[in-house]
């Protein structure tokens, strides 16, 4: 699949970064998957938040992670729940348990499989999808 073929149709909401998660999206736009990691105790956390839930330290780094993971759960969306999805679908939505980031999960899509092929336990790798705004969204391919 090429970067120009988007998995979902244009018109869906795009990330609207705030001061808590700006670093995450800025790295995505450079095709780097970096997850917030506590500088004091090393615990990974997501989505980005000001304080480490494990030790309450507010010091952190954006730690690069391998960009591989496992499908933790999935659904196939059939019903058009947004005007941009009328006449489109079905499409998969997955929760990916990341490798090398404690128990951090990310919501995403596996772009290169038929809807009924997605299953829990499937190994996936990052697929950077170019956005109309010139950035990148983290989606997934079968490993």
Partner 1 sequence: MSFADRTAIVGIGESRYGKRASILDISEFALLCQAIKAAADDAGMDIEDIDGFCSFGDERHEPVRVQQALGLPRLRFSNMVWGAGGGGCSGAVMNAALAVHAGICNSVVVYRSLCQGQYQRFGQYRPRPIGGSHMAPFGLLTPAQFVALTFRRHMHLYGTSTDALAEVAVAFRSHAQRNPRAVARSPLTYEDHQASRLIADPFRLFDCCLETDGACAIIVTSRERARNLRHVPTRILAAAQASNPGWGLGPSGSHNMAIDDYATVNSRELAKALFGMAGITPSDLDVAQIYDAFTGVVIMALEDFGICGRGEGGPFAQAGNLRWPHGALPSNTAGGLLSEAYLHGLNLVIEGVRQMRGDSTAQVDNAQTCLVTSGGAQAHKSALILARD
User: Applying CB under 8 A, which residues contact partner 1?
Assistant: 8, 12-18, 21, 25, 45-47, 53, 72-79, 81-82, 85, 90-91, 93, 95, 103-109, 120, 137, 139
Report the residue number, 13 or 134, with the smaller CB distance to partner 1. 13
Secondary structure class of 124 (helix, strand, coil): strand
CB of 99 to partner 1, least distance (A): 15
Spatial separation of the C-alpha atoms in residues 3 and 109, rounded to whole Å = 14
Residue pair 73/85 in contact by the 8 Å Cβ criterion = no
Residue pair 128/108 in contact by the 8 Å Cβ criterion = no
CB of 82 to partner 1, least distance (A): 4
Report the residue number, 6 or 64, with the smaller CB distance to partner 1. 6
CB of 112 to partner 1, least distance (A): 15
Report the residue number, 107 or 143, with the smaller CB distance to partner 1. 107
CB of 89 to partner 1, least distance (A): 9
Q: Encode burial over 50-59: b for 16+ CB neighbours within 10 A, e otherwise.
A: eebeeeeeee
Displacement of CA 138 from its chain's centroid (Å) = 5
């Amino acid at each position: 699949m090429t970067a120009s073929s988007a998995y979902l149709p244009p018109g869906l909401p795009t990330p609207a970064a705030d001061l808590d998660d700006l670093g995450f999206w800025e790295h995505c736009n450079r095709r780097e998957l970096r997850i917030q990691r506590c500088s004091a105790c090393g615990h990974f956390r997501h989505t980005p938040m000001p304080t480490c839930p494990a030790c309450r330290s507010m010091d952190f780094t954006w730690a690069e992670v391998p960009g591989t993971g496992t499908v933790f759960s999935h659904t196939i969306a059939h019903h058009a729940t947004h005007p941009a999805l009328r006449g489109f679908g079905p499409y998969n939505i997955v929760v990916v348990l990341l490798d090398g980031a404690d128990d951090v999960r990310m919501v995403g899509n596996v772009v290169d499989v038929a809807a009924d092929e997605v299953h829990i336990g499937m190994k996936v790798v990052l697929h950077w999808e170019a956005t109309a705004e010139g950035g990148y969204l983290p989606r997934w391919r079968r490993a």
